[in-house]
């Protein structure tokens, strides 16, 4: 069964949405088939992880970019290679979720228990490795090493973003430029690759591939800023995962960077005390009062506008329209 899709809030282009949902069903099949093992112990874990599947943002964007890039209005340009790469993108994302939960000591993900909380960190580390390995194996089945090179570069970048973030934990001097570099690498790079690769597999021009890559990068950055805002202000019952982890794990995110930047030396020292005490309620109160949450949301919104502008060189049509709506949804979402 197709999970609640990111398409659900967007119903205006029903025939196109139906084509994407059909594609997502194929992606799910490819995904499940790739993860079938001859070992029952492994299959059990694979089934648990299936439940992590959420909005399928990356496969959706890959296929939609494949359609939009050549100005189609339906699923005609979507080939087997699109579906395989869409499954690869989702599998890489899922591997990062499993390892992120180890890093964050999170207990809940998509309303279920995390692998680390159920089976221990060791199993979660190894399961994540198995998912990464399977994503590369699956990717090789496209039969074009350029695709392997592209995904390999992307996951290198993704890991480097995480390593950069880890190296700056408990560091209140982290500035906005470095924060954006972390976000671009750890989140936006994979989204950008999905979008540009979708176009490339459809045979779109270099200009359109680049534009869709930019669209994906900016949308991905906006998506991560919204994630970081939700980690501060969201409700666990709505978001469906453990929140407040950034403060707990010493990650300085955009709202806090803005708060510290605008603070007087005296206020700054108070905020640092609050962070040191891991006092989420006091931090949230300061953030609300200072307007820094709104400022962070405005940054995300301006990235969304810039993502939509990048689409100007993409042929007009319902797929381009849907991409624009999905960019808006990245910051509108509450979960």
Binding mask 92-111 for its own copies (x = CB under 8 A): ---x---x--xx--------
| 294 is a contact residue toward its own copies (CB under 8 A) | no
Pairing of strands 108-109, 112-113: antiparallel
Part in contact with its own copies (CB under 8 A); list of ranges 6-14, 158-166, 235-243, 266-274: 158-166
Residue from the set 108, 136, 280, 294 that interacts with its own copies by CB under 8 A:
136
| Dihedral class, residue 113 (left if φ above 0, else alpha if ψ from -120 to 50, else beta) | beta
Residue from the set 14, 163, 272, 298 that interacts with its own copies by CB under 8 A:
163
Both structure tokens of 251: 């990650």
State in Å, rounded, how far the first CA of the chain is from the last one.
Answer: 21
Handedness of CA 303, 307, 312, 313 (dihedral sign): positive
Residue from the set 14, 32, 118, 141 that interacts with its own copies by CB under 8 A:
141
| 139 is a contact residue toward its own copies (CB under 8 A) | yes
| 313 is a contact residue toward its own copies (CB under 8 A) | no
Do 124 and 95 contact (CB within 8 A), yes or no? no
Binding mask 165-204 for its own copies (x = CB under 8 A): -xxx------------------------------------
| 248 is a contact residue toward its own copies (CB under 8 A) | no
Nearer to its own copies, 36 or 281 (CB): 36
| 122 is a contact residue toward its own copies (CB under 8 A) | yes
Both structure tokens of 243: 């929140």
| 206 is a contact residue toward its own copies (CB under 8 A) | no
**Which among 292, 171, 186 is positioned nearest to 232, based on CA atoms?**
292
H helices of the chain, in order, are 14-34, 40-50, 57-68, 80-104, 115-119, 121-140, 145-167, 176-183, 189-201, 206-233, 236-239, 245-248, 254-262, 265-276, 280-290, 292-310, 318-332
| 49 is a contact residue toward its own copies (CB under 8 A) | no
**Residue numbers at the binding site for its own copies (CB under 8 A):** 37, 39, 41-42, 45, 95, 99, 102-103, 119-123, 125-130, 132-134, 136-145, 148-149, 151-153, 155-156, 158-160, 162-164, 166-168
């Amino acid at each position: 069964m197709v999970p609640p899709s990111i398409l659900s809030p967007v119903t205006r282009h029903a025939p196109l949405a139906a084509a994407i949902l059909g594609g997502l069903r194929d992606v799910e099949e490819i995904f499940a088939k790739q993860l079938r093992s001859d070992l029952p112990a492994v299959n059990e874990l694979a089934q648990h992880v299936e439940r992590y599947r959420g909005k399928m943002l990356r496969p959706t964007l890959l296929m939609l970019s494949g359609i939009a890039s050549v100005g189609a209005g339906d699923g005609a340009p979507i080939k087997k290679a699109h579906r395989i790469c869409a499954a690869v993108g989702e599998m890489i994302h899922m591997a990062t979720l499993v390892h992120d939960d180890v890093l964050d000591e999170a207990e809940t993900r998509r309303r279920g228990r995390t692998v680390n909380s159920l089976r221990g960190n060791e199993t979660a580390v190894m399961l994540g490795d198995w998912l990464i390995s399977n994503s590369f194996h699956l990717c090789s089945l496209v039969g074009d090493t350029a695709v392997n090179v592209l995904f390999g570069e992307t996951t290198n970048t993704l890991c480097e973003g995480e390593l950069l973030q880890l190296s700056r934990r408990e560091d209140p001097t982290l500035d906005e430029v470095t924060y954006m570099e972390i976000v671009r690498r750890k989140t936006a790079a994979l989204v950008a690759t999905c979008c540009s690769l979708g176009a490339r597999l459809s045979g779109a021009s270099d200009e359109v591939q680049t534009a869709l890559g930019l669209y994906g990068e900016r949308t991905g950055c906006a998506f991560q800023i919204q994630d970081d805002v939700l980690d501060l202000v969201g409700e666990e019952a709505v978001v469906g995962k453990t929140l407040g982890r950034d403060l707990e794990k010493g990650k300085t995110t955009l709202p806090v960077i803005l708060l510290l930047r605008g603070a007087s030396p005296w206020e700054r020292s108070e905020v640092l005390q609050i962070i040191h005490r891991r006092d989420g309620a006091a931090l949230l109160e300061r953030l609300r009062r200072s307007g820094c949450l709104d400022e962070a949301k405005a940054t995300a919104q301006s990235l969304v506008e810039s993502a939509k502008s990048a689409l100007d060189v993409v042929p007009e049509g319902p797929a381009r329209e849907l991409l624009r709506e999905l960019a808006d949804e990245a910051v509108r979402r509450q979960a």
